[in-house]
C-alpha cells in the first residue's frame, strides 16, 4: 500500500515536471516555427448552419491560404462573445461577424476594419413570425404576447428586431407576456414558435427563406407578419496590425482574396448563401452602433 502510494506520488511528480519542461521546449520550437510562417487565424460567428459551416471552413481556409500565401487556420467558435474576445486579444486575424458583433469588436479594437460582405448584407432584413391564426398583424400587437429573440449577440435575431419593436412604442422588457427569451440560434427561434413554446419571434430573413424552401418549418403553423426595413449586417473584419505581423500589404491581399471568391470555390459560399463578396467599410455600421448604444448594449 505504502509503496503504491509513493509510486503514485513520484509518478505524478515526475509527470508534472516532465509536462512543465516539455511545455518550455514546445514553446521554443513553436516560436521558431512561428518565425517561418505565423498562423493566420480566421473565425466565424456561430450564426446559422454552424455545424456544417465549421466542418467545411477548413477547406475555405485552405483556399484562402492558397490565394494569399498565408498559413490560414480556422478556429471554430460556438459562442459569439468568445469570438469577439478572441478577436480583441489578437488571436483571430480575420472574422466573419454579424452587424452587432462586428461593432463590438471594432469598438474593442478601433483600428480593425470591416472589409467585405455579401451583396445581401447591404440591405439585410429580419422577419417577425407568429403562430398562425393569432391576431397579430403589426409590431404593436405584440403586447402581452410571449416572444423569443435569437441569440442575444445577433443583429438580425435580436438587435434590430428589438429596435423596431421599441420604435413602435413597446418596451420588450415589460410589454411581452413574461420576459423575452433568447433562443440562441435562428433555427431554434422558428422551431420554438412552431412548437408553441413562444407565440411570436424574430429572425434573420435568409434563414427563414431557406427554412421555408427546404420544408424545415411547417408553414401551416408559422407565418410572417412583419418584415423590417433594410439595414447593414454581416461582414468580414480584419484585425489591426496585419501588415506589421505578416508582411506589408497583407491586409490588401486578404481583402482581394475574399473579393475574388466565387460561388463554386467552396461549400462555405453555398452555406452562407453568397454568390460573391463585395467591398464594405466601417462607416456602413454607424447606424447599428447607434442602435446598440441606444439600447445600452454598447456603453
Min separation Cβ 8 and other proteins, Å: 6
Q: Strand 113-117 relative to strand 181-182: parallel, antiparallel, unpaired? A: unpaired
Distance CA 161, CA 293 (A): 15
2 forms part of the interface with other proteins (CB under 8 A): yes
35 forms part of the interface with other proteins (CB under 8 A): no
* Dihedrals phi, psi of 125, to nearest 5 degrees: -135, 160
Applying the rule CB under 8 A, the residues between 3 and 22 that interact with other proteins are: 4-8, 11-12, 15-16, 19-20, 22
Of 287, 282, 286, which is closest to residue 114 (Cα–Cα)? 282
Applying the rule CB under 8 A, the residues between 88 and 127 that interact with other proteins are: 88-91, 104, 108
Min separation Cβ 210 and other proteins, Å: 11
Min separation Cβ 67 and other proteins, Å: 25
From the list 62, 81, 166, 278, which residue makes contact with other proteins (rule: CB under 8 A)? 81
30 forms part of the interface with other proteins (CB under 8 A): yes
In the three-class reduction of DSSP (H, G, I as helix; E, B as strand; rest coil), residue 26 is classed as: helix
* Dihedrals phi, psi of 121, to nearest 5 degrees: -70, -15
Contact segment (CB under 8 A) with other proteins among 58-66, 145-153, 164-172, 257-265 equals 145-153
Query: Which grid coordinates are listed for 255?
Result: 481583402
**100 membership: H or E segment, kind and range:** helix 99-108
Min separation Cβ 269 and other proteins, Å: 18
Min separation Cβ 156 and other proteins, Å: 15
Q: Which residue has the cell 460561388?
A: 263
Give whichever of 191 and 253 is closer to other proteins, judged by the CB atom: 191
Distance CA 268, CA 137 (A): 36
Question: Quick one: 88 exposed, middle or buried, by C-beta within 10 A (0-12, 13-18, 19+)?
Answer: middle
Applying the rule CB under 8 A, the residues between 163 and 192 that interact with other proteins are: 178-179, 181-185, 187-188, 191-192
Contact segment (CB under 8 A) with other proteins among 64-72, 148-156, 161-169, 278-286 equals 148-156
Amino acid at each position: 500500500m505504502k509503496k503504491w502510494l509513493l509510486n503514485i506520488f513520484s509518478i505524478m511528480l515526475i509527470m508534472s515536471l516532465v509536462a512543465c519542461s516539455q511545455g518550455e521546449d514546445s514553446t521554443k520550437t513553436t516560436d521558431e516555427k512561428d518565425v517561418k510562417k505565423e498562423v493566420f487565424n480566421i473565425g466565424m460567428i456561430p450564426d446559422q448552419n454552424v455545424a456544417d459551416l465549421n466542418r467545411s471552413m477548413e477547406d475555405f481556409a485552405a483556399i484562402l491560404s492558397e490565394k494569399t500565401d498565408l498559413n490560414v487556420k480556422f478556429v471554430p467558435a460556438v459562442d459569439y462573445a468568445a469570438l469577439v474576445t478572441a478577436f480583441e486579444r489578437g488571436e483571430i486575424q480575420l472574422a466573419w461577424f454579424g452587424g452587432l458583433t462586428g461593432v463590438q469588436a471594432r469598438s474593442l479594437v478601433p483600428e480593425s476594419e470591416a472589409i467585405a460582405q455579401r451583396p445581401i448584407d447591404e440591405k439585410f432584413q429580419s422577419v417577425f413570425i407568429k403562430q398562425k391564426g393569432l391576431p397579430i398583424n403589426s409590431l404593436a400587437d405584440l403586447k402581452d404576447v410571449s416572444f423569443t429573440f435569437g441569440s442575444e449577440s445577433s443583429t438580425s435575431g435580436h438587435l434590430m428586431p428589438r429596435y423596431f419593436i421599441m420604435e413602435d412604442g413597446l418596451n420588450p422588457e415589460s410589454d411581452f407576456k413574461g420576459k423575452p427569451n433568447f433562443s440562441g440560434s435562428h433555427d431554434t427561434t422558428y422551431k420554438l414558435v412552431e412548437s408553441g413554446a413562444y407565440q411570436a419571434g424574430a429572425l434573420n430573413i435568409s434563414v427563414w427563406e431557406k427554412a421555408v424552401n427546404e420544408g424545415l418549418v411547417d408553414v401551416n403553423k408559422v407565418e410572417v407578419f412583419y418584415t423590417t426595413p433594410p439595414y447593414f449586417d454581416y461582414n468580414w473584419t480584419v484585425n489591426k496590425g496585419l501588415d506589421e505581423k505578416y508582411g506589408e500589404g497583407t491586409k490588401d491581399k486578404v481583402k482581394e482574396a475574399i473579393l475574388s471568391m466565387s460561388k463554386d470555390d467552396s461549400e462555405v459560399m453555398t452555406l452562407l448563401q453568397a454568390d460573391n463578396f463585395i467591398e464594405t467599410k466601417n462607416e456602413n455600421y454607424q447606424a447599428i452602433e447607434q442602435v446598440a448604444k441606444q439600447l445600452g448594449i454598447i456603453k
